[in-house]
């Protein structure tokens, strides 16, 4: 039964609880040790970007002589929450978390906070209304996804050559790069004027899903002449779909992408992808350097920003060797 007295008690204990959780994070600074046990909760390993990121994290941990507790959530946010809980149970010193989606990973962030284990968000963010850097987790290390989407749109506005009907292949629904790459692109393309996004659907950042979705959207919108994919994998899948539809990528349909892996930069050289914004997965050095700054007691900025390159026909050849 809800009585006024019950409400008062409940809200009083909620406040007490909130106080304890706040204190827990602040009261457990990183102890000075020769070596650390560090968790890295990866989202999935189904694309070259993820594999490059994992390799970079493992290489840097090995270089420093740290023990890395590595988990792969295999595309499941629920498993990723369980992975973080298991890291907490194993008593890791810090957790690097690449939150698959913005909202479902909030409980993992809060559980680590409650256990006094600092969390560094890697490459994807969590919902900023539900958790905050410097309070619930240390910082977000990653790119400006809104800016990435905007850069694609601005390139298109300058180089469209009369093409105007856009199919958008979105990343994983509810993930920060999908939300923000859409926001940045859609806003900038609207501001540019003269373009129409004829369809926008998720391809889950995956090659085959991207191919399938592109195939059905190209059938539904035979007049589409631009495909903007939120990552390389879906862009490469879309190229197959364009060819299967008997059209020529780069000529009949412009393909635009984000990530800048070697295969995509090669596609720019070959002319099948028109332009790509880089989003570099080599997080190891920056992740552990940020952890070292935190261990020294430095105040970490809420967002450790990665700077992205841009590839198009003017520079793809020279840049190819350096692409991941
Ligand atoms: O673009 C994509 C990966 O979170 C920034 O996730 C990352 C994105 C990247 O699966 O290829």
Interval 282-305 mean pLDDT: 96
Distance 233 CA to ligand 1 centre (A): 9
**Count of residues for the chain?**
324
**Complete DSSP assignment for 14-71:** HHHHHHHHHHHHHT-PPPP-SS-EEEEEE---SSHHHHHHHHHHHHHHHHHT-EEEEE
Ligand 1, from 98, 152, 175, 205: best to mutate by most atoms within 8 Å of Cβ? 205
Q: What confidence score (pLDDT) does residue 31 get? A: 85
Distance 258 CA to ligand 1 centre (A): 9
Provide the 8-state DSSP code for 137.
B
Ligand 1, from 259, 264, 287, 307: best to mutate by most atoms within 8 Å of Cβ? 259
pLDDT 10s digits, 176-206: 999 999 999 999 999 999 999 999 999 999 9
Cβ(305)–Cβ(285) under 8 Å? Answer: no
pLDDT 10s digits, 39-82: 999 999 999 999 999 999 999 999 999 999 999 999 999 999 99
Answer whether residue 167 shows pLDDT above 90.
Answer: yes
Distance 232 CA to ligand 1 centre (A): 9
Answer whether residue 12 shows pLDDT above 50.
Answer: no
pTM, entire model: 0.90
Distance 203 CA to ligand 1 centre (A): 12
Q: What confidence score (pLDDT) does residue 154 get? A: 98
Ligand 1, from 72, 169, 238, 279: best to mutate by most atoms within 8 Å of Cβ? 279
Q: What confidence score (pLDDT) does residue 28 get? A: 56
Q: What is the pLDDT of the chain when averaged over all its residues?
A: 93
Pocket-forming residues, ligand 1, beta carbon under 6 Å: 47, 49-50, 123-124, 177, 205, 231, 233, 258-259, 279
For residue 291, what are the contacts with CB-CB under 8 A and spacing of at least 6? 30, 36, 38, 94, 120
Residue owning the nearest CA to atom 8 of ligand 1: 177
Which pLDDT band, with edges at 50, 70 and 90, does 5 fall under? Answer: very low
Share of the chain above pLDDT 90, in %: 89
């Amino acid at each position: 039964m809800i009585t006024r007295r019950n409400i008062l008690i409940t809200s009083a204990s909620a406040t007490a609880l909130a106080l304890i959780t706040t204190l827990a994070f602040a009261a457990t600074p990183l102890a000075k040790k020769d070596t650390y046990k560090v968790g890295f909760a990866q989202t999935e390993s189904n694309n070259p970007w993820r594999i490059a990121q994992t390799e970079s994290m493992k290489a840097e941990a090995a270089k420093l002589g740290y023990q890395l507790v590595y988990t792969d959530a295999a595309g499941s946010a629920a498993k990723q929450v369980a992975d973080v809980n298991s890291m907490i149970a194993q008593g890791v010193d810090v957790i690097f978390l690449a939150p698959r989606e913005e909202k479902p990973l909030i409980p993992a962030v809060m559980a680590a906070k409650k256990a006094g284990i600092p969390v560094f968000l890697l490459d994807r963010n969590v919902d900023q209304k539900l958790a905050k850097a410097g309070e619930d987790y240390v910082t977000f290390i990653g790119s400006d996804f809104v800016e990435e989407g905007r850069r694609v749109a601005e390139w298109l506005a300058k180089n469209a050559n009369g093409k105007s009907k856009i199919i958008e292949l979105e990343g994983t629904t509810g993930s920060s790069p999908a939300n923000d790459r859409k926001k940045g692109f859609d806003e900038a393309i609207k501001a540019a004027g003269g373009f129409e996004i004829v369809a926008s659907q998720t391809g889950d950042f995956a090659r085959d899903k991207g191919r399938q979705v592109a195939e059905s959207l190209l059938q539904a919108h035979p007049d589409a002449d631009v495909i903007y994919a939120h990552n390389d994998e879906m862009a490469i899948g879309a190229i197959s779909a364009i060819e299967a539809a008997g059209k020529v990528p780069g000529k009949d349909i412009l393909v635009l992408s984000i990530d800048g892996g070697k295969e995509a930069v090669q596609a720019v050289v070959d002319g099948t992808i028109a332009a790509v914004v880089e989003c570099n997965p080599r997080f190891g050095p920056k992740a552990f350097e940020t952890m070292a700054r935190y261990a020294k007691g430095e105040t970490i900025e809420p967002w450790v920003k990665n700077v992205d390159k841009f590839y198009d026909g003017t520079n793809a050849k020279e840049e190819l060797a350096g692409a991941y």
